[in-house]
């Protein structure tokens, strides 16, 4: 039994329009699967199925208060050849039972259950490896989509014929709604993904890393660009979006609002203060390594270093939310991370930061220099 409705679920009457497209019941894959896999990038993807146009991957972990609403919103997105893969990442609440009950009557729906909790990055990879669709999209287990959204999204990528499409989204917390937009234009025009990386000193497409804000051609996954770095418990989408923009061949941003992103969920990793938050360090180490080895490193490395500096300063500014031992560990890891960065390029970037961040980064640089033998 659920512990009451989610206190901040939106009024479903606003989502009650019904999409009238015919429904294909995908019968040839078991609706419930228990798997021991851990979402390895090296795992072979399930072959594409010509009858499956879109795969939506929904990782779920302890979302008992929200996942029924998520599934209800998907019922208003049924269409020919759409499959919905729920990856239950070894939930410890009632999520598993809700999924087994609700997905059993969701056309195209199936549940994959991880025997061990592997985290969001690897759970998404499990879904990618199981996907049979021509196109792939992501949805978190506590978010919502408006009626007919996925049909419109598929139509956009088919019309534009690009590797991936990025969309704006609606951020909501209770009755409050805010539109968040990807910083890229013009809209609905195919573009080189690299054009979404710069300039260095402004938010760009790589600073809008949300995996669920868009749709991806299957060939991107087959090239190894869509998988997430296993082991990253937070910040998994940062190196992912950089890799897409450096290595994919084409993309577009479109004016399509249909995904509602739920903010301030109590068990969200963005709300916790433990060492899982420290994974921004290996995440940005990966970004810097990619930028350093890129043929356009001279332009991309400053952007990577500036973004890394910004998140270091952000994390250090919330040290008071950690227990003293963890706060000390965070400072130490940030100092060590700064010491590993290319110092000449970092100094140039730090000189261009605002006074507060410049002071914080200068202090870390000085501390890391003291430790050099």
CA distance 208 to 29: 34
Measuring CA to CA, which residue among 68, 231, 74 is closest to residue 137?
A: 74
CA distance 271 to 258: 24
Query: Where along the chain do its domains lie?
Result: 12-270, 273-370
Question: How long a stretch of residues is the chain?
Answer: 373
Measuring CA to CA, which residue among 105, 108, 102 is closest to residue 51?
A: 108
Sign of CA dihedral 49, 76, 255, 168: negative
Considering the domain 12-270, what is its CATH architecture? Answer: Alpha-Beta Complex (3.90)
Mean pLDDT, to the nearest integer, of 278-283? 96
CA distance 103 to 52: 17
Give tens-digit pLDDT for 257-270.
999 999 876 555 55
Per-residue confidence band for 369, with pLDDT thresholds at 50, 70 and 90 = confident
Q: Average pLDDT of the chain?
A: 89
Residue 31, pLDDT score: 60
Residue 263, pLDDT score: 87
Helix then strand count (H, E) for the chain reads 11, 12
- 17 has a pLDDT exceeding 80: no
Q: Residue holding tokens 């294909």?
A: 24
Contact 165, 257 (CB under 8 A): no
Contact 39, 123 (CB under 8 A): yes
C-alpha distance across the termini of the chain, in Å: 60
- At CA 295, angle to CA 314 and CA 128, rounded to 5? 65
**CA atoms lying within 13 Å on the CB side of residue 305:** 25
Instruction: Order across the sheet with 176-180: list the strands.
Output: 144-145, 259-262, 169-173, 176-180
How does DSSP assign 74-119, residue by residue? Answer: HHTT--TTEEEEEEE---SSSHHHHHHHHHTTSTTEEEEEESS---
Question: What's the predicted TM-score (pTM) here?
Answer: 0.87
DSSP 214: E
* Torsion, CA 76, CA 169, CA 312, CA 268, rounded to 10: -30
- 50 has a pLDDT exceeding 60: yes
Angstrom distances, CA of residue 300 to CA of 200, 289, 296: 8, 11, 6
- 24 has a pLDDT exceeding 70: no
Which two structure tokens, joined as six digits, stand for 306? 């500036």
Q: Which residue has the higher pLDDT, 13 or 50?
A: 50
Identify the weakest region by mean pLDDT among 3-12, 159-168, 361-370.
3-12
- 12 has a pLDDT exceeding 50: no
Per-residue confidence band for 275, with pLDDT thresholds at 50, 70 and 90 = confident
Angstrom distances, CA of residue 364 to CA of 83, 369, 372: 48, 9, 13
Identify the weakest region by mean pLDDT among 91-100, 127-136, 157-166, 265-274.
265-274
Give tens-digit pLDDT for 327-339.
999 999 999 999 9
Residue 271, pLDDT score: 54
DSSP 44: P
- At CA 114, angle to CA 107 and CA 44, rounded to 5? 80
- 226 has a pLDDT exceeding 70: yes
Per-residue confidence band for 38, with pLDDT thresholds at 50, 70 and 90 = low
CA distance 220 to 345: 32
CA distance 37 to 87: 11
Q: Residue holding tokens 């300039």?
A: 199
Strand partners, 215: 165
């Amino acid at each position: 039994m659920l512990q009451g409705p989610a206190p901040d679920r939106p009024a479903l009457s606003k989502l009650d329009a019904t999409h009238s497209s015919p429904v294909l019941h995908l019968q040839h894959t078991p609706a419930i699967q228990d798997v021991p896999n851990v979402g390895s990038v090296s795992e072979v993807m399930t072959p594409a199925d010509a009858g499956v146009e879109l795969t939506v991957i929904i990782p779920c972990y302890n979302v008992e208060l929200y996942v029924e609403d998520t599934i209800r919103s998907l019922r208003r997105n049924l269409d020919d050849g759409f499959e919905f893969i729920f990856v239950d990442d070894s939930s410890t609440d009632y999520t598993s039972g809700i999924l087994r009950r609700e997905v059993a009557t969701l056309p195209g729906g199936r549940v994959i259950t991880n025997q061990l909790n592997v985290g969001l990055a690897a759970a998404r990879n499990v879904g990618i490896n199981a996907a049979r669709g021509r196109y792939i999209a992501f949805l978190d287990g506590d978010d919502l989509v408006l009626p007919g959204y996925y049909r419109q999204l598929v139509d956009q990528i088919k019309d534009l014929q690009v590797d991936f499409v990025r969309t704006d989204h609606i951020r909501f917390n209770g009755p409050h709604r805010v539109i968040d937009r990807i910083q890229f234009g013009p809209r609905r025009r195919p573009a080189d993904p690299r054009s979404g990386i710069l300039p260095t000193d402004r938010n760009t497409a790589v600073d809008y890393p949300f995996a669920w804000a868009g749709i991806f051609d299957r060939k991107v996954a087959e090239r190894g660009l869509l998988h997430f770095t296993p082991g990253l418990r937070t910040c998994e989408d940062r190196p992912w979006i950089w890799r897409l923009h450096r290595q994919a061949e084409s993309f577009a941003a479109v004016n399509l609002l249909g995904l509602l992103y739920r903010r301030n969920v109590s068990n969200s990793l963005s709300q916790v203060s433990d060492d899982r938050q420290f994974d921004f360090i290996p995440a940005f180490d990966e970004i810097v390594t990619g930028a350093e080895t890129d043929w356009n490193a001279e332009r991309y490395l400053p952007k990577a270093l500036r973004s890394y500096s910004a998140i270091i300063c952000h994390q250090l500014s919330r040290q008071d939310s950690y227990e003293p031992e963890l706060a000390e560990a965070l400072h130490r890891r940030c100092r060590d991370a700064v010491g590993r960065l290319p110092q000449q390029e970092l100094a140039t970037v730090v000189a261009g930061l605002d006074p507060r961040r410049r002071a914080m980064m200068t202090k870390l640089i000085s501390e890391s220099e003291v430790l050099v033998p």
